[in-house]
Structure 1
Amino acid sequence: MTDRLVQALNGDVRTYDLARQLRVGMPQSPNHPQFWHVLPRRHGDMVRADGGSAANDMITTGTHVGTHIDALAHVSQDGELYGGADAGDACLGGKYVEHGVHTIEPMLRRGILVDVAAYLGVTTLDGGYEITLADFEATLEKQGTEVREGDVVLIRSGWGAKFDEGATFVGGPSGVPGIGPEVGQWLADRKIHAAGADSIAFECLQPGAGHGLLPVHRIFLVEHGIYIIEAMNLEEISHEQVWEFTLVLVPLNIFGATGSPVRPLAVVAGE
């Protein structure tokens, strides 16, 4: 018998890529090592007897660069990780064995887009704008979308449209729009699995404040075990008004790491 999932995938489906392309010089948080890519061997550097040649690559990168997911090891509060684990003791031999990114199971879940920028009728929210619960609930109502337990909730502020502007996307002087503790706690109370956004630090950053305070990271990662996905590309699904989809996301299986680059996909049935 043919599996029903295989049957569905053999039908008409459309896939949206929600990741940013990894490029040298792309905007990133100054708190993390930059992405770098070089070719140690190029075609012609070594040629086989039959005329064949091969090229290869080397990359170095922080795990919180480009579109990436935060593991529960990424943030502690008052010396504790999720579940009350001692943050110092949890790092065994330089690896976070119980809270590392290798513990995140591949995601094949209901995903929803909460397009706050579209609801408010702007291309992008202003830097430092904190999305209120009233904004959030009104957006859901207009879209006819509901948040369910186990969902992956993606929040669009429109700030992702500034990605190619480099330093503007990082938003140091201007701040960055996003949710604050009010919406963060509301989502945590609904027991979502993960949340993502189109900005550099997921949550609201006030002008000039940088990453000094990240209360939603505490609520999600430390208090509730909810994963965070940052620097997503949500422009296409916003344009297509794709509010609900199957979210497919698999982190790199890096033992003990605090995060991983990811390439999330939104999958929907075709017309």
Structure 2
Amino acid sequence: MADRLLEAVTAGVRHVDLGRQLRVGMPQSPNHPQFWHTLPRRHGDMVRADGGSAANDMITTGTHVGTHIDALAHVSQDGRLHGDADATDSCIGGKYVEHGVHTIAPMVCRGVLLDVPATLGVERLDGGYEITVADLDATVERQGAAVEPGDVVLIRSGWSQLFEQGQPYVGGPSGVPGVSEAGAQWLAERRIHAAGADTIAFERLAPGKGHGLLPAHRVLLVESGIYIIEALDLEQLAAEAIHEFTFVLVPLNIFGATGSPVRPLAVVSA
């Protein structure tokens, strides 16, 4: 029996890379260890008898740095994780056995881009702007792509245009645009599989408030069991007006971790 997926791939597909390149010094949340890459051995440090040489690398990084996914173990509320799991008892030997990133299955599913700046007629949203339920509804109506159960919904704010500037992307005094609790509830009501954004904290950060309160994380991770993907690059999807696509994401299989760097892809017909 012919495999329909293989037939589609053979007929021709292309992908849009939604992940940020990992580089030393890239902007990130101040709450997580930074990414670091070095070469313990370089070509010429050790040369074989036949003239051959090999270089190797070492990296250290927080798991919530660069484009990454939050496991359900990442956030607790009043000492409880998703499904009322005890946040203390779930951590065994320094590993979150329950709800760690190793429990996230690879994702090959329908992806939907909600391009909010395009709906509002702006290049990017202002720092601290709250993406409202009305904004989400208007974007769905404009694009004509309904959000369905099991989807991965990616919300563009345009804020990633500041990524190469470093600190302005982090926000700080300016704040960062994104959904708040109401927007997260809107997503949860649609029983999506995961939600992502082009910012480091997914949700709205009020000017000057930093990461002090993250209600959307509570709604999605703790109350609804919906994964969060952060620091996505959604500019090419927006430029090409690609609003529906096959979304592919595979977390690193790190036992007991609260998150993982990822390189998600949007796959469309060629």
TM range (shorter): over 0.9
Distance in 1 of aligned mates of 2:118 and 2:190: 24
Quick one: which amino acid aligns to residue 62 of structure 1?
A: G
Consecutive unaligned residues in structure 2, runs of 5 or more: none
SS of the residue corresponding to residue 118 of structure 1 reads: helix
Q: Deviations over 1:192-221 (max 9, x none)?
A: 000000011000000000000000000000
Equivalence for 1:161: 161
Consecutive unaligned residues in structure 1, runs of 5 or more: none
Equivalence for 1:133: 133
Q: What is the Cα deviation at residue 12 of structure 1?
A: 1.8
Distance in 2 of aligned mates of 1:137 and 1:196: 17
Distance in 2 of aligned mates of 1:31 and 1:77: 18
Quick one: which amino acid aligns to residue 245 of structure 1?
A: F
1:81-160 matched pairs, under 5 angstroms:
81-160=81-160
Quick one: which amino acid aligns to residue 128 of structure 1?
A: G
1:1-271 matched pairs, under 5 angstroms:
1-270=1-270
SS of the residue corresponding to residue 78 of structure 1 reads: coil
SS of the residue corresponding to residue 114 of structure 2 reads: strand
TM-score (norm 1): 0.99
Distance in 2 of aligned mates of 1:12 and 1:88: 48
Q: What is the Cα deviation at residue 3 of structure 1?
A: 2.0
Cα gap change, 1:45/1:2 in structure 2, threshold over 3 Å: closer, same or farther? farther
Q: Deviations over 1:76-132 (max 9, x none)?
A: 000000010111111000000111000000000000000001111111100000011
Distance in 1 of aligned mates of 2:189 and 2:6: 34
Q: What is the Cα deviation at residue 166 of structure 1?
A: 0.2
Q: Aligned residues, how many?
A: 270
Q: What is the Cα deviation at residue 7 of structure 1?
A: 1.4
Distance in 2 of aligned mates of 1:148 and 1:44: 55
Q: What is the Cα deviation at residue 183 of structure 1?
A: 1.4
Runs of 4+ in 1 over 2 A off after TM superposition: none
Distance in 2 of aligned mates of 1:99 and 1:144: 35
Q: What is the Cα deviation at residue 2 of structure 1?
A: 3.9
Quick one: which amino acid aligns to residue 64 of structure 1?
A: H
Quick one: which amino acid aligns to residue 226 of structure 2?
A: I
> RMSD of the alignment, in Å?
0.6
Distance in 2 of aligned mates of 1:32 and 1:82: 22
Q: Deviations over 1:3-30 (max 9, x none)?
A: 2211111112110000000000000000
TM-score (norm 2): 0.99
Distance in 2 of aligned mates of 1:72 and 1:18: 22
Q: Deviations over 1:134-184 (max 9, x none)?
A: 111101101111000000000000001100010000001100000011111
Distance in 1 of aligned mates of 2:184 and 2:28: 23
